[in-house]
Amino acid sequence: MVSGTDYGKVTSDIVRQLSEIVGEKNVLTGDDRMNYNKDEAPRAKTYLPDVVVKPGDTASVCRILKLAEDNHIPVTPRGAGTGLSGGAVPILGGISLSSERMKRILEVDEANFSATTEPGVTLVELCAAVEAKGLYYPLYPGEKLATIGGNVSTNAGGMRAVKYGVTRNFVLGLEAVLASGEVVRTGGKYFKCSTAYDLTQLLIGSEGTLAFVTEITVRLITPPGVREILFIPFRSLSDAIGCVPAILKAGILPVGLEFMEKDVIDMYEKYSGKKIPMHDYAAYLMVIIESENEDAFINISERIEDVATKNGAVDIFVAGSEAARANLLEAREKFHAVVTQNGLLDIADVVVPRSKVAEYVQKAKQIGRENGISIIAHGHAGDGNVHLEIMGDAATIDQKKEKETLIKLFEAGVGMGGTISGEHGIGYTKKGYLPLASSPEKLQLMRRIKLAFDPHNIMNPGKVV
């Protein structure tokens, strides 16, 4: 964003006013602010907010934002801090506005298949509440401790996107507070709407740069009868990825279709001390299936086996037990922790058209080799979202080379008709790369939209656009 580096200071009088709004114990100005100085972006610098404020309701959020607006103080919205692009990091100081006290699940509406929550509710809490009523929130961005507010901010995707899509597809309505302190309500318990601009969708994925979301209504569905995982080894990555369109073209719609190579499996086994079945092959597809009942599952798995065998699969492993499923899912979910221990320097999550995944992974590895940088690629074969871990020694890495490599990875993805982030978001760590995916005209348009919401640029400044 262009405007305003001349932000106001968080004076003792501002702190006093914030304390009046939310109570003294919900305003942090000491060392405890350290818990708000970073997120999970690898190797990112820390930035201490001048003050952490924890509102408990929408009215407090309005007053806080009005105060910040009047005094031109930067406000950085924060959920659980599990983001990977620095979106929740207060890079200009000011106020870290935490949703941690806004944790009420306001309603699970069984007749309308919807749930309404405050933004600080975690994914695991939401899922438990709706399952208790016999309903299901099927999205699974992987990080259970992330907040729903954070999921909305980044349009979180995850491993069940092939069938269910992403957060955007399950949010029905929002309440959000603008920088001015004005409250805007969007959408409702309906998904058919042709009543002026869809502000719900515009707010989703805007990473707190347009407004602070105070209430979220999501769509629910009925739960599947059977969940199962197939683990399918192949002799090469291109065999594995080449099998994906064949599965989908056969009219089979798994919940998720993940790919991984042997290096990922090896690293996980070493990290966890656990063994992954059939761990000696070059590449794998993990097919996550949800079906109505056991018969339907058998039908689907037989058809997948048929298609996979015709397309180079060496074998098929059906998890078959909760423990085996958990082991396989963990290998996928814990991978971020695994690479973090093994010298993760940076992470990207380029998305390309599904048919380009194999070509893109090959290209990414070639880019790595040409630049002397080790790259691990794995991710969502069914939806084209490729996670790229840039590995190395932080002390000795040639940072210019590293940055050039990242640019080449993004350019290659965009060149194949993709874009630079499928689910992690832009935050500030990827902001410099956004022009690789957006024309100058489009960037200017987005900046004008930003100013329509937030004319003085106090909402998460320095992020996204």
Kindly identify the residues of this chain, within the stretch 33-92, that bind its own copies according to CB under 8 A. none
Neighbouring-strand partners of residue 385: 351, 380
Q: Between 378 and 424, whose beta carbon lies closer to its own copies? A: 424
- Reduced to 3 states, what is the DSSP secondary structure of residue 288? strand
Start-to-end CA span in the chain (Å) = 6
Write out the binding residues for its own copies, residues 406-435 only, by CB under 8 A: 417-426, 434
Q: Between 18 and 89, whose beta carbon lies closer to its own copies? A: 89
* Distance from C-alpha of 391 to C-alpha of 374, rounded to nearest angstrom: 5
142 binds its own copies (CB under 8 A): no
Amino acid identity, residue 359?
A: E
Tell which one of 27, 41, 92, 204 touches its own copies (CB under 8 A).
204
Q: Between 34 and 445, whose beta carbon lies closer to its own copies? A: 445
The owner of tokens 């708000």 is: 36
* Distance from C-alpha of 181 to C-alpha of 59, rounded to nearest angstrom: 9
385 binds its own copies (CB under 8 A): yes
Segment lying near its own copies (by CB under 8 A), choices 2-10, 119-127, 156-164, 401-409: 156-164
Q: Between 412 and 465, whose beta carbon lies closer to its own copies? A: 465
387 binds its own copies (CB under 8 A): no
Task: Give the CA angle between residues 331, 205, 42 to the nearest 5°.
Answer: 45
Tell which one of 186, 214, 301, 327 touches its own copies (CB under 8 A).
186
CA 41 to chain centroid, in Å, comes to 12
Q: Residue 389 has which token pair?
A: 């871990």
- Within 10 Å of residue 263's Cβ, how many Cβ atoms? 14
- Smallest distance, its own copies to C-beta of residue 314, A: 24
- Within 10 Å of residue 350's Cβ, how many Cβ atoms? 26
157 binds its own copies (CB under 8 A): yes
Write out the binding residues for its own copies, residues 343-372 only, by CB under 8 A: 351-355
Tell which one of 55, 205, 233, 462 touches its own copies (CB under 8 A).
205
Do 69 and 409 contact (CB within 8 A), yes or no? no
User: Which residues of 145-211 form beta strands (DSSP E)?
Assistant: 171-177, 183-187
**Would you give the binding string for its own copies spanning residues 236-265, x where CB under 8 A is met?**
---------x--xxxx-x------------
Q: What order do you get walking across the sheet with 212-219 strand by strand?
A: 105-109, 114-117, 212-219, 171-177, 183-187
Tell which one of 113, 212, 360, 428 touches its own copies (CB under 8 A).
113
Do 319 and 231 contact (CB within 8 A), yes or no? yes
Q: Between 194 and 396, whose beta carbon lies closer to its own copies? A: 194
Q: Between 201 and 342, whose beta carbon lies closer to its own copies? A: 201
Tell which one of 102, 161, 289, 319 touches its own copies (CB under 8 A).
161
**Would you give the binding string for its own copies spanning residues 211-230, x where CB under 8 A is met?**
----------xx--------
